[in-house]
Amino acid sequence: MSTDREQAAFEAGIKLGALYHQWVGTPISVQTASGVEAVIEQSVGLQPFVEEIDVTLDRSLMNANAFGYAELSGLMFDVTIRTKVGATTCVAALRPENGYPLMRIVSCDEEEPLSDH
Amino acid sequence: MSTDREQAAFEAGIKLGALYHQWVGTPISVQTASGVEAVIEQSVGLQPFVEEIDVTLDRSLMNANAFGYAELSGLMFDVTIRTKVGATTCVAALRPENGYPLMRIVSCDEEEPLSDH
Amino acid sequence: MSTDREQAAFEAGIKLGALYHQWVGTPISVQTASGVEAVIEQSVGLQPFVEEIDVTLDRSLMNANAFGYAELSGLMFDVTIRTKVGATTCVAALRPENGYPLMRIVSCDEEEPLSDH
Amino acid sequence: MSTDREQAAFEAGIKLGALYHQWVGTPISVQTASGVEAVIEQSVGLQPFVEEIDVTLDRSLMNANAFGYAELSGLMFDVTIRTKVGATTCVAALRPENGYPLMRIVSCDEEEPLSDH
């Protein structure tokens, strides 16, 4: 059996794993970065259980190669995603930690029931 | 805060989301399918927290196009993965359900402590 | 040895092959399609030898699955790209032909030298 | 119009562009590299106009991250592909040049007609 908490965490993991491998390798530059951020947010936002997603790409890593552009790499991602299953909200992140593009759970919380007075 | 159970579920989600978007679109045929299955298993098996992964691709969907090959599509996947974080094991699957390549948690379980006699 | 004509054709092939495998599988809907088109155009446009690229995605194929979205598939692409190497311009296309997402050269032409009167 | 020479070059470009973006990002290690090489060769070999493909991945770049594995990156590729359209054979390569994963045409040649004596 699994609970809402585990399912919310599972869904957050799916989305982060998917977006990483979908977009790594895309040609990118400082000029096109904001468009790519918006499209990643919109695309992931179409998927079930996603409440909110925020994508920021590290422009300081977009060093142009000999041909004038960079490729989106794992360490450029700073992503926060919030999924919801039942009453549980899970917040997870993808961002560099010690030189590795780490995915981790930030929090899993049940909604506070409304107070009755 | 998150527990081992949520983290095990999160890791299973990451791996399923990642492998789906990494390999969808690969040219494939009935002749090459077993090699692709093995490489997906080996690649995913390199990642942290993965205890076991089994990948079977549905050969009945590998209908050759006009040029004699097919592309790996989401509905071909039948994947079972087992992740472990602390004492918790999570089993998750990717397989078709009602025409959709569904990812779901099969179980999340703590290891039974050894009996003392 | 290879000529400008062959190199212009080669570059067009690289870009079409790359964009196909980069973006296939992305979650998409009629609402997000124009943003995805623009980002593909901008990303490919960063690469060397690309003079112009036009991407249209077939919205009639974006049938929502049980979860309300579609995935970008090969048959949705209608792409025209123009590459230039030396004095040669190559126009190539990716679009469905007999149910297959066919990539083909439309034309390879040298620039007309300017008339001297 | 385009000739067999341009089409052979175009097809080589398609295959190199496609394989690059299909496999970049795959988890890989020195232990799994030969399996990945074989699967890339088999997959690309399914596609039309491909006569031969040879893939070698640079193991010296497979430096394990904190979690014990690497990701397939563009600079690891050393690929030679031979395409054939009509009587023309095109050989193209993907390999590092000045720190960039360069795709280039090696040669485009018509078959020698058989001598009549």
pLDDT over 90 at B113, yes or no: no
The confidence score (pLDDT) of residue A1 equals 61
Query: What average pLDDT score do residues B18-32 get?
Result: 95
Q: Kindly tell me if the per-residue pLDDT of C32 is higher than 60.
A: yes
Predicted pLDDT of residue C66: 85
Of A26, A27, A42, the CB nearest to C35: A42
- Of B67, B74, B117, the residue nearest B97 (C-alpha): B74
| Closest to C20 in 3D by CA, of A16, D13, D39, B100 | D13
List the structure tokens of B22. 């990494």
- Cite the DSSP H helix spans in C24-90: 33-45
State the smallest CA–CA distance between residue C102 and chain D in angstroms. 11
Higher pLDDT, D91 or A112: D91
What's the rounded mean pLDDT across residues D77-92?
97
CB contact under 8 A, C67 and B99: no
pLDDT of B115: 63
Residue C84 pLDDT? 97
Which residue's entry shows tokens 């194929």? C61
CATH of D4-109, one of 3.20.20.70, 3.30.70.3280, 3.30.1300.20, 3.30.450.20: 3.30.1300.20
Closest CA to B15 of A7, A13, D2: A13
Chain centre distance of CA B28: 18
Q: Please, how many CA atoms are within 13 Å of residue B40, restricted to the half-sphere of its CB?
A: 28
Which H or E element spans position B43? Answer: helix B33-45
Confidence of residue B27 (pLDDT cuts 50, 70, 90): very high
- Distance from the Cα of A20 to chain B's closest Cα (Å) equals 7
Q: What residue segments make up the domains of chain D, in order of their start?
A: 4-109
pLDDT of residue C117: 57
Alpha helices (H) in chain C, listed in sequence order = 4-23, 33-45
Highest mean pLDDT: which range of C60-64, C107-111, D61-65, D91-95 = D91-95
Annotated binding site of D for substrate: 11, 103
**Statement: residue D44 has pLDDT above 90:** yes
What is the pLDDT, as a whole number, of residue D114? 65
Interface of D with A (CB under 8 A): 20-21, 24-25, 65-67, 71, 74, 98-100
Return the number of CB contacts < 8 Å for B and D. Answer: 52
H or E element that contains D34 = helix D33-45
* pLDDT (mean) for B2-31: 95
The pLDDT of residue A67 is 87
Distance CA D19, CA C117 (A): 49
Query: What is the distance in angstroms between the Cα of A53 and the nearest Cα belonging to chain C?
Result: 14
C55/D67: higher pLDDT:
C55
d(CA D41, CA B116): 54
Single pTM value for the model? 0.93
B90 chain-A contacts, CB cut-off 8 A: 2, 6, 10
> What pLDDT sits at residue D111?
78
> Which of B22, B27, B43 is closest, CB to CB, to D43?
B27
The number of helix segments (H) and strand segments (E) in chain D equals 2, 6
What are B93's strand-pairing partners?
B80, B104
Half-sphere exposure of A27 (CA within 13 A, CB side): 21
How does the average pLDDT of chain B come out, rounded? 93
Enumerate the residues of chain B whose CB falls inside 8 A of the CB of residue C24.
24-25
Q: Measured between alpha carbons, how far is A39 from A36 in angstroms, rounded to an integer?
A: 5
Q: Are the CB atoms for D54 and D79 separated by under 8 Å? A: yes
Cα A55 to Cα D108: distance, rounded to the nearest angstrom: 44
Segment B55-75 mean pLDDT: 94
**Candidate from B3-7, B63-67, B75-79, C31-35 with smallest mean pLDDT:** B63-67
Q: Which residues lie across from D101 on neighbouring strands?
A: D96
pLDDT tens across C62-106, in order?
A: 998 888 899 999 999 999 999 999 999 999 999 999 989 999 999
Per-residue model confidence as pLDDT tens digits over B76-108: 999 999 999 999 999 999 999 999 999 999 999
- Taking the C-alpha atoms of residue B44 and residue B82, their distance in angstroms, rounded to an integer, is 11
Mean pLDDT of D106-116: 79
Residue found by looking up tokens 């679009």 in the block: C95
Tens digit of pLDDT at every position of chain A (117 positions): 679 999 999 999 999 999 999 999 999 999 999 999 999 999 999 999 999 999 999 999 999 888 889 999 999 999 999 999 999 999 999 999 999 999 999 999 987 666 665
Q: Are B115 and B33 in contact (CB under 8 A)?
A: no
pLDDT one-digit tens code per residue, C105-115: 999 998 766 66
User: What pLDDT score was predicted for residue A101?
Assistant: 94
**Integer CA distances (angstroms), D3 to C13, C85, C96, C106, D9, in order:** 15, 17, 22, 11, 10
**Identity of the residue in A1, A14, A105 whose CB atom sits nearest the CB atom of B6:** A105
In this predicted structure, which of A47-51, D1-5, D83-87 has the lowest mean pLDDT?
A: D1-5
Chain A residues with CB-CB distance to C39 below 8 A: 32, 35-36, 39
The predicted pLDDT at position B6 comes to: 96
Ramachandran bin of B68, using left for φ above 0, alpha for ψ from -120 to 50, beta for the remaining angles: left
Which of C6, C44, C82, C98 would you mutate first to test chain D, the one with the most D CBs within 10 A?
Answer: C6
Which two three-digit tokens encode residue D100? 């960039």
Task: Please give the pLDDT value at position A116.
Answer: 60
The confidence band for C116, taking pLDDT boundaries of 50, 70 and 90, is: low
- Among candidates B48, B45, B41, B24, which has minimal Cα distance to B79? B41
Residue B116 pLDDT > 90: no
